[in-house]
Amino acid sequence: RCRTSGKSYAWFDQDSTVLQKRRLSIMSELRQGLKNGEVNFAYQPKVNLLSGQVEVVEALVRWNSTTHGFIPPDEFIPIAERTGDIRHLTDWGLETAIRQASDWHNQGLEIAVALNLSANDLTNHRLPDQVMGLLNRYQLPIRLLKLEVTESAVMHDMDRALAVLNRLHDLGLFLSIDDYGTGYSSLSYLKQLPMDELKIDKAFVLKLASNMEDQILVRSTIELAHNLGLTVTAEGVEDAQSVELLRQYGCDMVQGYHICRPVSAADLETFVRNQKEN
Ligand code: C2E
Ligand code: CA
Ligand code: CA
Ligand code: CA
């Protein structure tokens, strides 16, 4: 099985038994790693271009395995999706994100946490009740949790995903369509989804300042999204010129290394507090 994502740690490489062993071993260790506290979130701010404030942070999972060292999410999440272990990551992620947002809320920091869901999660019809139960348990206002789903995760099992997403949306959860532009979505399909936000994939944003085609695509995507009533976040913003262009295009939120890398909860608090003073 080969994919064309251009990743250098290609565990699917057929003639590499070393990598196959690594994959098997990773599969068997994720659950334990979650229990042992080897898994954490890094939080990356999304800044509102109008207010200049951090209103949302994206929770990005980090696994520091005792046996394998740091394993990037792009490596272990696809494996966990195949084995079904992603369920345990999602259970952990939901509770961790909600607990963190609730801690901040109790300290007077109104920072919403955006959690990434995977294809498997969208086929789980119990997910909406699980989310509501946790929000209730941690007394978190629903606006302080956001969920990101990719187009390909939705397409994986469109009917079931739509049922879960509609339910979440009806309950009042804010939903983002992630990695927009990298899949095969059509406009009619975008219209069917109960979304509040569109995130333009970093592939179109990383070289925005120097690439005219990207400028055209990003600009028209923002216009399209706004016409559909969606807010827009651009991810992968790495330089000041890109921020300026995105501002001109009317983009709502920016996220990327130029603003802040994904950081620990403590560093995130410092970042937010410093920013509020400026
Ligand atoms: P994503 O949701 O598209 O997340 C954005 C990725 O872009 C993150 O990579 C982030 O660190 C990176 N990034 C942010 N700003 C910049 C920038 O300015 N330049 C560049 N070059 N990259 C930037 P990361 O943390 O390695 O996560 C990779 C993917 O793993 C995520 O892509 C998401 O699909 C998945 N993922 C991460 N955490 C979770 C999780 O808790 N659950 C699930 N299901 N998936 C997750
Ligand atoms: Ca995301
Ligand atoms: Ca993304
Ligand atoms: Ca991505």
| Cα-to-centroid distance, 183 and ligand 3 (Å) | 12
7 lines ligand 1 (CB under 6 A): no
| pLDDT tens per residue across span 167-179 | 999 999 999 999 9
Mean pLDDT of 12-27: 74
The reported pTM is: 0.93
Ligand 1 pocket check: which of 71, 82, 116 to mutate, most ligand atoms within 8 Å of Cβ? 116
| Cα-to-centroid distance, 73 and ligand 3 (Å) | 13
Q: What share of the chain has pLDDT > 90, as a percent?
A: 76
Whole-number pLDDT of residue 160: 96
Tokens 């229990």: give the residue.
35
262 lines ligand 1 (CB under 6 A): yes
Whole-number pLDDT of residue 56: 98
- Angle between helices 73-83 and 17-35 in degrees, nearest 10: 80
| Cα-to-centroid distance, 17 and ligand 2 (Å) | 31
Mean pLDDT of 74-90: 91
Asked if 117 contacts 165 with a C-beta cutoff of 8 angstroms, the reply is: no
| pLDDT tens per residue across span 92-134 | 999 999 999 999 999 999 999 999 999 999 999 999 999 999 9
Burial label for 2, CB within 10 Å (0-12, 13-18, 19+), is: exposed
Question: Rounded distance, CA 56 to CA 144, Å?
Answer: 8
Cβ neighbors of 170 (< 8 A, separation 6 or more) are 194
How many of the other CB atoms lie within 10 Å of CB of 5?
9
